[in-house]
Amino acid sequence: MPAKIPANAASRALFEVLAARGLTVSAVARAAAISEGTLRAYRDTEGRGLNTRTLHKVIAAIGRLSGSPAPPELAPPELSGGEIIFPAGASPAAGLAPPGLASPAAREYTAAELVAPSAPRIPVRGTAQGGPRGAFVLTGDDIDYVRCPPRLATAQGIYALFIEGDSMSPRYEPGELIFVSPRRPARIGDDVVILCRDGDGEQNAYIKRLLRRGGDEIIAGQFNPALEIRFLAGEIETIHLVLRMANLYGY
């Protein structure tokens, strides 16, 4: 299958090398110990970049997998003590827009205040626009942290997302923040994040309403435009529950 042409001009040299050496995005991401979604977002989102540390990991992975060093034109800048990277456990300063957001509405987001290191908090996962049916990509990056709603203080695995696209409007608007649980079971009528693999083996995510379950498919709905969408059971990796206000605050 021919390699996908990068939409992001800045990423083309890198992905031309991957194609020439027969390397897949998923293989390079695994070897570099980074999220596959991070590489896909770099390829598919115009203007998106990789920080220096991640680029070093990717270049090293290309060399290991192909048995020869990456070409000189891909050489990343030297790592320095002045590099600005938000490590795990840190939070962007108040007023700074979280890096890597694709949604225009989400780009307007500004942190109201720092989350104290001792306070319960929830990571906001990075997203980028994806493919058809309102798909988007979970990059695997934690781009910010938000205060943990009281009823989630002991919950495990909770994460937050900025809404991409308007397929669920007016229930959710672009740039709106939602909280998601990968552990609580989803029931008919719940809003969910559906994680799928397409025919190329690439992961896409969808925010939809769970309508019906069949033997080999589930039927989900969206609001804008109003549609029922069928997902084959074989392409679904997992379904995560979008939490309601009552789950967050107890009313």
Look up residue 152 and give its amino acid.
L
The pLDDT value given to residue 90: 36
Q: What gap in Å lies between CA 207 and CA 196, rounded to an integer? A: 12
Query: Where exactly are the structural domains of the chain?
Result: 9-74, 104-249
The answer to whether domain 9-74 and domain 104-249 are alike in fold is no
The DSSP secondary structure of 74-128, one letter per residue, reads: GPPPPP-TT-----TT--PPTTPPPTT---HHHHT---SSPPPTTS-EEEEEEEE
Q: What is the mean pLDDT of the chain?
A: 76
Reading the block at residue 28, the tokens are: 């390079």
pLDDT in tens, 124-151: 887 766 556 678 887 777 888 888 888 8
Q: Which CATH number fits domain 104-249: 2.10.109.10, 3.30.1540.10, 3.30.1330.10, 3.40.50.2300?
A: 2.10.109.10
Instruction: Write phi, then psi, for 17 (nearest 5 degrees).
Output: -65, -40
Q: Which CATH number fits domain 9-74: 1.20.1260, 1.10.260, 1.10.3470, 1.10.3110?
A: 1.10.260
pLDDT in tens, 3-42: 667 777 778 888 888 889 999 888 888 888 777 777 887 7
